[in-house]
Structure 1
Amino acid sequence: MTGMKWQGSRGQSRGFTLIEVLIALAIVAIAMGAVLMALGALSTNVEMARSRLLAAWSADNVLASIVAAGQWPLLGRSTFPCPQGHYLFVCRETVTQLDSALLREVEVRVYGGGATADILADAVTVIENESFQ
């Protein structure tokens, strides 16, 4: 028995050490965090684009209803709700007289229904007084 040598674990090592595994996990965790942040920003941008599109539809609807009514719009400013689906928008309509007495400019601005005062959409048209023709 004197000729036998004992071989410990220092001979050939296989696998990864604990430090290597922890470093790899840290790298993966940082990468996953960056991916989740990018996805969160993307979903926020998609929601903002959706609300701006629906706000533009609301502004177009207001202008189309004025044109379809065929009535001469009164000068001044009015504010009223203009919901679109489950979005609760607020529209501000401003009617101004142009240089010609037969033309009026109608501007519709759409705001979010919350505490924010950001303009989500803006649409303008010119209405002609057809009763003088």
Structure 2
Amino acid sequence: MKHHAGFTLLEVLVALTILAVALSAGFRAVSLATSGASDLRDRMLGEWVAQNRLAEHRALGEFLNPGHYEGDVQQGGRTFRWTEEVKPTPNALFRRIDVRVYEQGEESHALATMTGFLVAPLR
């Protein structure tokens, strides 16, 4: 009687099941990492938009009236929506400006929020 070395059908099925579970966990981890990198990129671009808004006001020497301002801007090949809330301060020579940046069409969650101050030009 000859004895052939090899795997039984049951052993092969168990090995394939273990391999399938391991591969699906690996794909899930890659998917989460890719999604996290995309979210991080969006937040970084949103912060750049907010920084640019504050820098633009300072560079132009603007002293905005208190109120609400909003607009759209292109950054990194994407369109973002920004809102600015300008508020008076106890010192009449300063204004507080709160900038919030959103993905266009998704204004329920801000990607970035920054606060700055505007200074009245000297006369």
Please identify runs of 4+ aligned residues in structure 1 that moved more than 4 A. none
Give the whole-Å Cα distance in 2 for the aligned partners of 1:115 and 1:130: 36
Looking at CA atoms only, which structure, 1 or 2, has the larger radius of gyration? 1
Q: Which runs of 5+ in 2 are unaligned?
A: none
Q: 1:111 aligns with which of 102, 116, 121?
A: 102
- So what's the TM-score if we normalise by structure 2? 0.94
Give the whole-Å Cα distance in 2 for the aligned partners of 1:57 and 1:71: 20
Counterpart residue type for residue 15 of structure 1: G
What RMSD over aligned residues (CA atoms) do the two structures have, in Å?
1.3
Summarize deviations over 1:76-130 as a string: whole Å, max 9, x none: 0011002212221100011000011111001110011133521000111111113
Correspondence 1:67 to 2:67: no
Give the whole-Å Cα distance in 1 for the aligned partners of 2:62 and 2:49: 20
Give the whole-Å Cα distance in 2 for the aligned partners of 1:43 and 1:65: 33
- Give the secondary structure class of the aligned counterpart of 2:86: strand
- Give the secondary structure class of the aligned counterpart of 2:92: coil
Counterpart residue type for residue 59 of structure 1: A
Number of residue pairs matched by the alignment: 123
- So what's the TM-score if we normalise by structure 1? 0.87
Partner of 2:18: 27
Give the whole-Å Cα distance in 1 for the aligned partners of 2:107 and 2:91: 36
Bigger relative CO (Cα 8 Å, ≥ 6 apart): 2
Larger relative strand fraction: 2
Give the whole-Å Cα distance in 2 for the aligned partners of 1:114 and 1:101: 36
